Amino acid sequence: MTSSPDPSSVDLSDLRAADPVRMADLPRASDPDAVALLQRVSAISSPTPAQARRGLRNRFVPLGAVAAAFLVVVVGFTVFSPSNTETALATVKTAAQEVAAADSGRATTGFEVDGVSNGVSDRAAGTAVLTFNGNNFAVTLDLDDLPQELKDQSDGMGDLLSEVETRFVDGVIYGRGGPVDDWIAVELPSVFIDQIRETADPRSVLETVQTLVETEEVGATTIEGVEVTHYQSIVDLDEKSLAESGWLAGVDSQIDVDTDGTLTVDLFVTGAGQLIKIDVFGTLAATEATDSMTATFSISTLFTDLNAVAPITAPEGVVPTPFLAGELFEEPGS
Amino acid sequence: MASSDPFDALFNSTYPQVVAYARRRTANAQDADDVVAEIYATAWRRRDQLNSIQTPLAWLYGIGLNVVRNLRRGDRRHLRLVGAAQSQAAAATHASDPADAIQIRDALATIPDDDAELLRLVAWEGLSHSEAGDVLGCSANAIGIRLHRARQRLDAALSPTSNPPHQNKASNQ
């Protein structure tokens, strides 16, 4: 194994010279202690399939929550507020605000989450298309892949979630999906309207996303035939939790998944100074004492049709029913 | 010791390197032995992945990363692990170590854990950017960026001290 050269002020050869371990002093695999260790390890019984499934059940639910939450984050990423003033950051910020200033537009997000727990792999994948016009939104969620454990638990929930269409129009949520062809509608109290608007509106999260502290220009490339400049930012979740970094505070406090890892954020800005694509790749790691769980996620969002989306309207023939507190949600603060 | 068992082969081909990995991150040989045992126990539970593992050492180091983190988080006793700067640096010091080496290890123990871990993987474990990326779960490109930043932080940690070894070399560049 060799290390790649990397220009920096600290020489790696100095670091190598500071290695506290001398390989010549180390035990060999044939030493009695090593042989005994191998025998002890090989005597460990493997987890039963039932144990492995229980582990998955406990882990992929929060993973699914993380995946769903990151969808929101990526949509919200259109208007982040970088916290330093480097040129690249300033360019990206301005480009994002171009999108934020749009009256209407479309964000198409594809996502994949792969997790490994107790040696068992599973994944979730899908596409979300969010269209906005003024204060109204339409979201179509198409899940290609759900973790098997979730499918098993939800008795058809996988089918239900496979293609869900939602509209948020003038304070009413309309939805249909899976085996349900007819629209249903719920009229929400204003407190929920505000919460949903803050979460879903790609133009309203300027205050909540403050993580980008380093961004650098990578080079030129082409997206959908458009020449763009590629920028990249690394968000180090080892140093800050999601909540500390300003991301997903609610999710971070509710799920038992640590946020060690790294987010690599690739941003693409057109020559006209408009942010048209964001790719986020990252890893999360669990902190449980006995087993480790890792998840890798990849999310790509493409912004199109800025200021060119027709008004979003309520489906015809659907009568909204009043929201009944406690039936679907608890009122905030109750 | 030849063996047809894939796990035995993995153990026999990696044991010294894994011991070195553990000793570099612990305060004494006993703690290192615990880490080595846990790494191989975890690898054993995941042995069905062995056929698809491209770089076994990087895979084991990735397990080791979680083992060390879990021990640090889960047990007061393991405050002696990396992160407890003075104890680690002191325990890792050989009588014949030059002052520069001690100084660098002291500085390494004061920078953020993840920066220090990346520097150890590249400088001490000898991993390439790609292999370090496999361990830490990010791209080689991201490793390059993080490595540059880690070295800057190490440089800053060394700068208040007198005549650290890097300063002379930096001035020649």
Q: Provide the shortest C-alpha distance from residue A294 to chain B (in Å).
A: 9
Q: Which architecture, in CATH terms, is B95-173?
A: Orthogonal Bundle (1.10)
Asked if the domains at B1-92 and B95-173 fall in one CATH topology, the answer is no
A283 or B17, which is more confident: B17
CATH of B1-92, one of 3.30.450.40, 3.40.50.300, 1.10.760.10, 1.10.1740.10: 1.10.1740.10
| The pLDDT value given to residue B17 | 95
User: pLDDT digit string (tens) for A261-297?
Assistant: 666 778 888 888 777 887 877 776 655 444 556 667 7
CB-based burial, A94-119: b 16+ in 10 Å, e otherwise:
ebbbbbbebebbbbbbbbbbbbbbbb
| Cβ–Cβ contact A214 with B under 8 A | yes
A151 or A176, which is more confident: A176
Residue A18: list chain B partners with CB under 8 A: 97, 100-102, 104-105, 108
Residue B12 banded pLDDT, cuts 50, 70, 90: very high
A11 by DSSP, 3-state: which? Answer: coil
Contact across the interface for B44 and A42, Cβ inside 8 Å: yes
Mean pLDDT of chain A: 65
Structure tokens at A235: 């968000």
Contact across the interface for A17 and B101, Cβ inside 8 Å: yes
Does A299 have pLDDT greater than 70?
Answer: yes
Q: Residue A300: how many CB atoms within 10 A of its CB?
A: 17
Query: What distance in Å separates the CA atoms of residue A297 and residue A128, rounded to the nearest whole number?
Result: 15
The ranges assigned to domains in chain B are: 1-92, 95-173
User: pLDDT digit string (tens) for A47-68?
Assistant: 444 444 444 334 433 444 444 4
A143 or A316, which is more confident: A316
Residue A143 banded pLDDT, cuts 50, 70, 90: confident
Query: What distance in Å separates the CA atoms of residue A265 and residue A301, rounded to the nearest whole number?
Result: 11
Does A115 have pLDDT greater than 60?
Answer: yes
In chain B, which residue's Cα lies nearest the Cα of A234?
B142
Contact across the interface for A19 and B128, Cβ inside 8 Å: no
Name the residue among B159, B160, B161 with its Cα closest to residue B170.
B159
Name the residue among A129, A150, A153 with its Cα closest to residue A141.
A129
| The pLDDT value given to residue B61 | 93
Residue B83: list chain A partners with CB under 8 A: none
Interface of A with B in 21-50 (CB under 8 A): 21-23, 26-30, 33-34, 37-38, 40-42, 44, 46-47
Q: Contacts for B70-75 with beta carbons within 8 Å, 24 or more apart?
A: B70/A287, B70/A288, B70/A289, B70/A290, B70/A292, B71/B34, B71/B35, B71/B38, B73/A287, B73/A289, B74/A289
Query: What distance in Å separates the CA atoms of residue A93 and residue A309, rounded to the nearest whole number?
Result: 23
Structural contact between residues A275 and A231, judged by C-beta atoms closer than 8 angstroms: no
Structural contact between residues A169 and A320, judged by C-beta atoms closer than 8 angstroms: no
User: pLDDT digit string (tens) for A64-78?
Assistant: 444 444 444 433 332
User: pLDDT digit string (tens) for B77-87?
Assistant: 333 333 433 33
User: pLDDT digit string (tens) for B59-95?
Assistant: 999 888 878 876 665 443 333 333 433 334 434 444 4
| The pLDDT value given to residue A50 | 45
Q: Provide the shortest C-alpha distance from residue B5 to chain A (in Å).
A: 11
Structure tokens at A102: 């749009």
User: pLDDT digit string (tens) for B40-56?
Assistant: 988 888 888 888 888 89
Structure tokens at A18: 């500071």
If you average pLDDT over residues B152-161, what whole number do you get?
Answer: 81
